[in-house]
Amino acid sequence: MHSVSSRPDIADHYTKGDLLTRIQAALRDDGVDPDAAGVAALAPYDQFHGRGLEVTEEIAGTLSVAPNDHLLDVGSGIGGPARYFAERFGCRVTGIDLTEEFCQVAQRLNALVGLEERVRIHQGDALAMPFEAASFDGVYSMNVSMNIADRAALYGEIRRVLKPGGWLVLSEIALGPGGPLDYPTPWAESADASFLTTPEQTAEDLRAGGFADITWRDTREEALAFGARSRAMVERGEKPPHRAVQMIHGDGAATMAANMNRGFAEEAILPIEVFCRKPG
């Protein structure tokens, strides 16, 4: 039996406190009124996964989503991807996340951009979701599975809530052939809180979980290029496009990002995008 309280370690890792106040201060520093910020102004801070908005746009570009579709965002964080999908497609998005502060901030930001009706957030565990079977047209999850040891339970729960024929997209960090990976990373303080599988094992686990049409691609080259572009911007005294790791983790962020980027360079880890479908 899984419950929210069974994973306080995960919520602790992501909770530094005063997140909304810190986002508002960053927006002011960007010259944006924090009471009138739109989805685009929030994007440097609320897309909490590698390459940020670039990946969300990339994935959205592969999907066809109708305005009456209902999507599920598993591990929705502070809701940046959910607001982006809702705004781009005019659809409804439900997010679920373990971390209470993230859920509270997500709800405040939904209201700020006028999406509180179409983007709903639940605090809860992806391994025991409070949703009816076959309720979603599509499910996506970005940089979440690295916190989840029981992949069979995760994929089983996603399959349960997906409608027959519905799609699943995972954007995540997989185990690569190089290594070792140094910790902390943005998703885990230490190796014992990090659960990585190879891309091949991920595809195999999805197949065993009843998914079909499974394809995946390794986006390591894109991650390295994005890192180089961001470093060049910082050297020129500009703000990099993706500032969520710094926003969420504060002082620890630089070491986490350096460990992750070295992991990409040495192929200890691989960023991947996985696409599959629940048979109709």
List contacts with ligand SAM (CB under 6 A): 7, 10, 14, 47-49, 75-77, 80-81, 96-99, 102, 125-127, 142-144, 147-148, 187
**Distance in angstroms (rounded) separating the CA atoms of residues 23 and 26:** 5
Do residues 130 and 124 lie in contact, with contact meaning Cβ atoms separated by under 8 Å? yes
Q: Pick the closer one to ligand SAM by CB: 192 or 235.
A: 192
Least CB distance to ligand SAM at residue 280 (A): 27
Do residues 157 and 206 lie in contact, with contact meaning Cβ atoms separated by under 8 Å? no
Q: Pick the closer one to ligand SAM by CB: 80 or 176.
A: 80
Kindly calculate the radius of gyration of the chain based on its CA atoms and give it in whole angstroms: 18
Least CB distance to ligand SAM at residue 125 (A): 5
Q: Pick the closer one to ligand SAM by CB: 3 or 21.
A: 3
Q: Pick the closer one to ligand SAM by CB: 144 or 260.
A: 144
Token match 């940089």: residue?
Answer: 143
Phi, psi of 240 (to 5 degrees): -70, 160
Q: Which residue is nearest to ligand SAM (CB)?
A: 77
Q: Pick the closer one to ligand SAM by CB: 187 or 232.
A: 187
Least CB distance to ligand SAM at residue 143 (A): 4
Least CB distance to ligand SAM at residue 123 (A): 9
Burial class (CB in 10 A: 0-12, 13-18, 19+), 265: middle
Handedness of CA 96, 101, 104, 109 (dihedral sign): negative
